[in-house]
Amino acid sequence: MTNAADEASPIVHRPTRVRLTRRQLLRAAAASPLLVSARALGKDGKAAPSERILLGGIGLGGRGRTVLSGMLEEPDVQFLAICDPNRSRREMVKNMVDAKYGNKDCAMSPDIREFLPQRTDLDAVVIATGDRWHALASILAMRAGKDVYCEKPSSMTIAEGRMVVETARCYGRVYQSGTQGLSWPNRVFGIELARSGHLGQLHTAYAQIAPWDDALMRRDWLPAEPEPPQDEINWDAWLGPCPWRPYNAAYIGGAWRGHYDFHTSCIGEWGAHTIMQVQAGINARNTSAVAYQYADNPFGDGLVARYANGVKLILARQHESWAGVSGQRFDGTEGWIANSGSDHEQSRASSPSLLAEVDKMLERYTALMRRPMNHARDFFDCIKSRRPTVANPEAMHGAMTTVHAANICMWLKRDLVYDPVKEEFVNDPEANRLRSRAMRAPWVA
Q: What is the pLDDT of residues 90-145, one digit of tens each?
A: 999 999 999 999 999 999 999 999 999 999 999 999 999 999 999 999 999 999 99
pLDDT given for residue 6 in this prediction: 36
Q: Which amino acid is at 212?
A: W
Res 10 pLDDT > 90? no
Burial class (CB in 10 A: 0-12, 13-18, 19+), 151: buried
Assess if residue 12 is contained within a domain: no
Is 130 a member of any domain? yes
Q: What is the pLDDT of residue 42?
A: 54
Q: Are residues 164 and 188 in the same domain?
A: no
> Is 296 found in the same domain as 322?
yes
Residue 36: per-residue pLDDT: 44
- Please indicate, yes or no, whether residues 130 and 204 belong to a single structural domain of this protein: no
Half-sphere exposure for 310 (CA within 13 Å, toward CB): 5
Report, as an integer, the average pLDDT of 355-368. 93
* Residue 344, pLDDT above cutoff 80: yes
Which pLDDT does position 44 carry in this prediction? 61
Is pLDDT of 41 > 80?
Answer: no
Same domain membership, residue 111 and residue 191: no
- Strands of 304-306's sheet in order across: 348-349, 335-339, 328-332, 202-208, 312-316, 304-306, 291-293, 416-419, 424-425
Nearest one of 201, 198, 181 to 328, comparing CA atoms: 181
Beta-carbon-side half-sphere exposure of residue 218 (alpha carbons within 13 Å)? 10
Any bridge partners for residue 58, and if so which?
83, 127
Q: Compute CA 106 distance to the chain's CA centroid, rounded to the nearest angstrom.
A: 23
Measured between alpha carbons, how far is 268 from 287 in angstroms, rounded to an integer?
17
What pLDDT is recorded for position 45? Answer: 63
Mean per-residue pLDDT for 281-296?
98
- Compute, in degrees rounded to 10, the torsion defined by CA atoms 153, 156, 160, 162: 50
Residue 132's domain is classified under what CATH number?
3.40.50.720
Last residue in a domain, options 154, 180, 206: 180
CB neighbourhood size of 164 (10 A): 28
Beta bridge partner(s), residue 337: 330, 349
Considering the domain architecture, whether residues 284 and 376 belong to the same structural domain is answered as yes
Listed range (18-27, 204-213, 248-257, 408-417) with the worst mean pLDDT: 18-27
> Are residue 96 and residue 208 in the same domain, yes or no?
no
**Residue 56 · residue 119 · CB < 8 Å:** yes
- Give the model's pLDDT for residue 24: 52
pLDDT at 293 over 70: yes
59 and 186 share a domain?
Answer: no
Q: What does the pLDDT read at residue 17?
A: 41
State the pLDDT at residue 7: 35
Does 415 lie in the same domain as 283?
yes
pLDDT above 50 for 329: yes
Mean pLDDT of 191-211: 97
Q: Is the pLDDT of residue 326 over 90?
A: yes
pLDDT at 4: 36
Return mean pLDDT, the chain: 92
What does the pLDDT read at residue 34? 45
Residue 165 within any structural domain of the chain:
yes
* Residue 443 domain-assigned (yes or no): no
The 10s digit of each residue's pLDDT in 25-36 is 445 444 444 444
Q: How confident is the model at residue 48 (pLDDT cuts 50, 70, 90)?
A: confident
Residue 109 lies in a domain: yes
Domain count, the chain: 2
Element (H, E) at 114: helix 112-118
Whichever domain contains 413, its CATH number is 3.30.360.10
* 383 backbone dihedrals φ, ψ, rounded to 5°: -60, -40
Helices (H) and strands (E) in the chain, counts: 17, 15
Tell me the DSSP string of 228-279.
PPTTTB-HHHHHTTSPP----HHIIIIITTTBTTT--HHHHHHHHHHHHHHH
Residue where a domain terminates, one of 159, 180, 201: 180
> Are 271 and 416 found together in one domain?
yes
CA atoms of 85 and 250, how far apart (whole Å): 16
Helix intervals (H) in 318-444? 352-355, 358-369, 375-385, 393-412, 429-433
Asked whether residue 222 is assigned to any structural domain, the reply reads: no
- Last residue in a domain, options 160, 180, 200: 180
Q: Based on the domain organization, do 168 and 269 belong to the same domain? A: no
Is 374 part of a structural domain of the chain? yes
**pTM confidence score:** 0.89
Tell me the pLDDT band of 47, cut-offs 50, 70 and 90: confident
Give CA separation, 344 vs 184, 189, 273, in Å.
10, 9, 18
Q: Tell me, what's the pLDDT at 40? A: 46
Judged against a pLDDT cut of 90, whether residue 365 lies above it is answered with: yes
- In terms of domains, do 209 and 121 share one? no
> What's residue 3's pLDDT?
40
Range of the domain at 398: 181-216+263-433
In angstroms, how far apart are the furthest CA atoms of the chain? 92
What is the DSSP code (8-state) at residue 121? T
Q: Is the domain of 138 the same as that of 189? A: no
Burial class (CB in 10 A: 0-12, 13-18, 19+), 352: exposed
Does 25 fall in a domain?
no
